Amino acid sequence: GSLERRRCLYLHTGRACCQMMEVLLAALILVCSSVSSGSPGGYTGLPALGGIYYYQYGGAYSGFSGADGERAQQLDQHFYLLKLPIARTAMAVGGCLLVIPCVLILVGVLRVPWHFPAWLLIECTLNIVVAVGTVPALYYFFHSLLSIYNSSVCKEREQLYQSKGYQGFSCSLHGAEIAAGLLGCMAAMAYVLSAGLAVRDYRTVHEQEKKPLQL
Protein backbone atom coordinates (compact mmCIF):
# COMPACT_ATOMS: atom_id res chain seq x y z
CA GLY A 1 0.00 0.00 0.00
CA SER A 2 1.18 3.45 0.95
CA LEU A 3 4.38 2.07 2.53
CA GLU A 4 5.38 0.39 -0.71
CA ARG A 5 4.69 3.59 -2.64
CA ARG A 6 6.87 5.58 -0.25
CA ARG A 7 9.65 3.06 -0.68
CA CYS A 8 9.41 3.24 -4.46
CA LEU A 9 9.57 7.02 -4.28
CA TYR A 10 13.18 6.71 -3.12
CA LEU A 11 14.15 5.30 -6.50
CA HIS A 12 13.12 8.61 -8.06
CA THR A 13 15.39 10.69 -5.82
CA GLY A 14 18.68 12.17 -6.98
CA ARG A 15 20.66 10.05 -4.53
CA ALA A 16 19.09 6.82 -5.78
CA CYS A 17 19.71 7.77 -9.42
CA CYS A 18 23.34 8.46 -8.61
CA GLN A 19 23.65 5.11 -6.85
CA MET A 20 22.11 3.29 -9.81
CA MET A 21 24.66 5.01 -12.03
CA GLU A 22 27.37 3.69 -9.72
CA VAL A 23 25.98 0.18 -10.16
CA LEU A 24 26.11 0.53 -13.94
CA LEU A 25 29.68 1.89 -13.91
CA ALA A 26 30.83 -0.91 -11.60
CA ALA A 27 29.30 -3.53 -13.88
CA LEU A 28 31.11 -2.02 -16.87
CA ILE A 29 34.38 -1.98 -14.92
CA LEU A 30 33.92 -5.69 -14.23
CA VAL A 31 33.37 -6.38 -17.92
CA CYS A 32 36.38 -4.34 -19.04
CA SER A 33 38.60 -5.94 -16.39
CA SER A 34 37.63 -9.44 -17.50
CA VAL A 35 38.33 -8.52 -21.14
CA SER A 36 41.70 -7.08 -20.17
CA SER A 37 42.84 -10.35 -18.59
CA GLY A 38 42.59 -12.15 -21.94
CA SER A 39 42.85 -15.92 -22.19
CA PRO A 40 45.71 -18.31 -21.34
CA GLY A 41 45.61 -19.83 -24.81
CA GLY A 42 47.03 -16.79 -26.56
CA TYR A 43 46.40 -16.30 -30.25
CA THR A 44 43.55 -18.35 -31.69
CA GLY A 45 43.03 -18.27 -35.43
CA LEU A 46 40.93 -20.27 -37.87
CA PRO A 47 42.65 -23.57 -36.97
CA ALA A 48 41.13 -23.28 -33.49
CA LEU A 49 37.81 -24.14 -35.08
CA GLY A 50 38.97 -27.75 -35.33
CA GLY A 51 39.01 -30.28 -38.14
CA ILE A 52 41.84 -31.77 -40.20
CA TYR A 53 43.49 -28.34 -40.60
CA TYR A 54 43.74 -27.99 -36.84
CA TYR A 55 45.51 -31.29 -36.27
CA GLN A 56 47.72 -31.05 -39.35
CA TYR A 57 49.16 -27.61 -38.63
CA GLY A 58 49.35 -27.72 -34.87
CA GLY A 59 46.34 -25.86 -33.56
CA ALA A 60 45.88 -22.18 -32.90
CA TYR A 61 49.41 -21.11 -33.88
CA SER A 62 48.96 -21.67 -37.58
CA GLY A 63 51.43 -18.98 -38.59
CA PHE A 64 54.21 -20.57 -36.57
CA SER A 65 56.15 -23.74 -37.00
CA GLY A 66 58.49 -25.74 -34.81
CA ALA A 67 60.30 -23.80 -32.13
CA ASP A 68 58.55 -20.53 -33.00
CA GLY A 69 55.16 -22.04 -32.27
CA GLU A 70 56.28 -23.41 -28.92
CA ARG A 71 57.92 -20.11 -28.03
CA ALA A 72 54.77 -18.17 -28.96
CA GLN A 73 52.68 -20.39 -26.73
CA GLN A 74 55.12 -19.99 -23.83
CA LEU A 75 55.16 -16.23 -24.20
CA ASP A 76 51.36 -16.10 -24.33
CA GLN A 77 51.02 -18.12 -21.16
CA HIS A 78 53.71 -16.09 -19.38
CA PHE A 79 52.12 -12.83 -20.49
CA TYR A 80 48.72 -14.05 -19.31
CA LEU A 81 50.13 -14.93 -15.89
CA LEU A 82 51.72 -11.49 -15.63
CA LYS A 83 48.39 -9.75 -16.29
CA LEU A 84 46.26 -12.13 -14.22
CA PRO A 85 46.92 -10.59 -10.75
CA ILE A 86 46.12 -7.03 -11.83
CA ALA A 87 43.06 -8.22 -13.75
CA ARG A 88 41.76 -10.12 -10.72
CA THR A 89 42.42 -7.13 -8.49
CA ALA A 90 40.52 -4.86 -10.87
CA MET A 91 37.62 -7.31 -10.96
CA ALA A 92 37.61 -7.48 -7.15
CA VAL A 93 37.51 -3.69 -6.93
CA GLY A 94 34.73 -3.61 -9.51
CA GLY A 95 32.81 -6.17 -7.47
CA CYS A 96 33.14 -4.04 -4.32
CA LEU A 97 32.02 -0.97 -6.23
CA LEU A 98 29.02 -2.98 -7.39
CA VAL A 99 28.03 -4.20 -3.93
CA ILE A 100 28.31 -0.88 -2.10
CA PRO A 101 25.67 1.08 -4.08
CA CYS A 102 23.36 -1.95 -4.11
CA VAL A 103 23.45 -2.01 -0.31
CA LEU A 104 22.89 1.75 -0.13
CA ILE A 105 19.91 1.49 -2.50
CA LEU A 106 18.41 -1.22 -0.30
CA VAL A 107 18.94 0.93 2.79
CA GLY A 108 17.25 3.86 1.09
CA VAL A 109 14.30 1.76 -0.07
CA LEU A 110 13.82 0.55 3.50
CA ARG A 111 13.77 4.23 4.58
CA VAL A 112 16.50 3.71 7.16
CA PRO A 113 17.77 7.33 6.81
CA TRP A 114 14.32 8.66 7.81
CA HIS A 115 14.36 6.64 11.03
CA PHE A 116 18.08 7.04 11.66
CA PRO A 117 19.24 10.30 10.02
CA ALA A 118 22.82 9.83 11.23
CA TRP A 119 23.06 7.07 8.63
CA LEU A 120 23.28 9.75 5.96
CA LEU A 121 26.49 11.03 7.53
CA ILE A 122 27.85 7.48 7.57
CA GLU A 123 26.87 7.13 3.92
CA CYS A 124 28.56 10.43 3.10
CA THR A 125 31.77 9.30 4.79
CA LEU A 126 31.68 5.97 2.97
CA ASN A 127 31.21 7.69 -0.39
CA ILE A 128 34.14 10.03 0.26
CA VAL A 129 36.39 7.12 1.31
CA VAL A 130 35.51 5.19 -1.86
CA ALA A 131 36.02 8.24 -4.09
CA VAL A 132 39.40 9.05 -2.55
CA GLY A 133 40.48 5.39 -2.58
CA THR A 134 39.70 5.14 -6.28
CA VAL A 135 42.57 7.52 -7.11
CA PRO A 136 45.45 5.32 -5.81
CA ALA A 137 43.63 2.27 -7.17
CA LEU A 138 43.67 3.75 -10.67
CA TYR A 139 47.35 4.68 -10.28
CA TYR A 140 48.21 1.13 -9.24
CA PHE A 141 46.15 -0.27 -12.13
CA PHE A 142 47.87 1.73 -14.85
CA HIS A 143 51.31 1.55 -13.24
CA SER A 144 51.12 -2.25 -13.08
CA LEU A 145 49.89 -2.54 -16.65
CA LEU A 146 52.61 -0.27 -18.01
CA SER A 147 55.28 -2.24 -16.16
CA ILE A 148 53.94 -5.44 -17.74
CA TYR A 149 53.89 -3.91 -21.21
CA ASN A 150 57.46 -2.71 -20.73
CA SER A 151 58.65 -6.16 -19.70
CA SER A 152 60.92 -8.30 -21.87
CA VAL A 153 58.18 -10.93 -22.19
CA CYS A 154 55.78 -8.50 -23.83
CA LYS A 155 58.46 -7.05 -26.12
CA GLU A 156 59.58 -10.46 -27.32
CA ARG A 157 55.98 -11.55 -27.80
CA GLU A 158 55.21 -8.43 -29.83
CA GLN A 159 58.23 -8.91 -32.09
CA LEU A 160 57.47 -12.59 -32.62
CA TYR A 161 53.89 -11.94 -33.71
CA GLN A 162 54.85 -9.01 -35.88
CA SER A 163 57.42 -11.16 -37.67
CA LYS A 164 54.54 -13.42 -38.74
CA GLY A 165 52.34 -10.52 -39.82
CA TYR A 166 49.91 -10.64 -36.90
CA GLN A 167 48.54 -7.36 -35.54
CA GLY A 168 46.94 -6.55 -32.19
CA PHE A 169 49.77 -7.77 -29.95
CA SER A 170 51.47 -4.44 -29.33
CA CYS A 171 52.82 -3.60 -25.89
CA SER A 172 50.46 -0.73 -25.18
CA LEU A 173 47.24 -0.14 -23.28
CA HIS A 174 44.22 -1.69 -24.92
CA GLY A 175 40.78 -0.16 -25.33
CA ALA A 176 39.22 -2.19 -22.51
CA GLU A 177 41.96 -1.10 -20.09
CA ILE A 178 41.60 2.56 -21.01
CA ALA A 179 37.82 2.23 -20.70
CA ALA A 180 38.18 0.67 -17.24
CA GLY A 181 40.29 3.66 -16.14
CA LEU A 182 37.80 6.19 -17.50
CA LEU A 183 34.91 4.33 -15.88
CA GLY A 184 36.83 4.37 -12.60
CA CYS A 185 37.19 8.15 -12.83
CA MET A 186 33.48 8.48 -13.55
CA ALA A 187 32.67 6.24 -10.60
CA ALA A 188 34.82 8.40 -8.31
CA MET A 189 32.95 11.52 -9.43
CA ALA A 190 29.62 9.74 -8.91
CA TYR A 191 30.59 8.88 -5.34
CA VAL A 192 31.57 12.48 -4.67
CA LEU A 193 28.18 13.57 -5.96
CA SER A 194 26.48 10.95 -3.78
CA ALA A 195 28.32 12.30 -0.74
CA GLY A 196 27.04 15.80 -1.47
CA LEU A 197 23.48 14.53 -1.92
CA ALA A 198 23.69 12.61 1.34
CA VAL A 199 24.66 15.79 3.20
CA ARG A 200 21.80 17.66 1.53
CA ASP A 201 19.31 14.98 2.49
CA TYR A 202 20.62 14.94 6.06
CA ARG A 203 19.94 18.66 6.35
CA THR A 204 16.46 18.13 4.92
CA VAL A 205 15.62 15.38 7.40
CA HIS A 206 17.11 17.36 10.27
CA GLU A 207 14.99 20.40 9.41
CA GLN A 208 11.84 18.30 9.14
CA GLU A 209 12.49 16.79 12.56
CA LYS A 210 12.21 20.31 13.97
CA LYS A 211 8.75 20.64 12.41
CA PRO A 212 6.81 17.54 13.55
CA LEU A 213 3.47 19.09 12.61
CA GLN A 214 4.53 19.37 8.96
CA LEU A 215 5.59 15.72 9.01
Quote the number of domains for the chain: 1
Query: Is 183 a domain residue?
Result: yes
List CB contacts of 154: < 8 A, sequence separation 6 or more: 79, 82, 148, 171
Q: What pLDDT score does 135 carry?
A: 93
Mean pLDDT over each residue of the chain, to the nearest integer: 81
Q: What pLDDT score does 113 carry?
A: 82
Q: What pLDDT score does 56 carry?
A: 36
Top-confidence range, 50-54, 70-74, 177-181: 177-181
List CB contacts of 23: < 8 A, sequence separation 6 or more: 98, 101, 102, 105
Exposure class string for 60-70: b at 16+ Cβ within 10 A, else e: bbbbbeeeebe
- Domain of residue 89 covers 2-39+84-157+168-211
Query: Is 90 a domain residue?
Result: yes
Mean pLDDT of 77-88: 89
* Four-point Cα dihedral 107, 113, 119, 125, nearest 10: 80
Q: 110 versus 210: which is more confidently predicted?
A: 110
Query: Is 57 a domain residue?
Result: no
Query: Is 75 a domain residue?
Result: no
Whether the model clears a pTM of 0.75, i.e. scores above it, the answer is yes
> What is each CA distance from 184 to 84, 120, 122, 207, in whole angstroms?
19, 24, 22, 35
Query: Is 189 a domain residue?
Result: yes
Query: Is 76 a domain residue?
Result: no
Mean pLDDT of 105-126: 89
For residue 4, pLDDT over 80 is answered with no
Query: Is 65 a domain residue?
Result: no
Query: Is 62 a domain residue?
Result: no
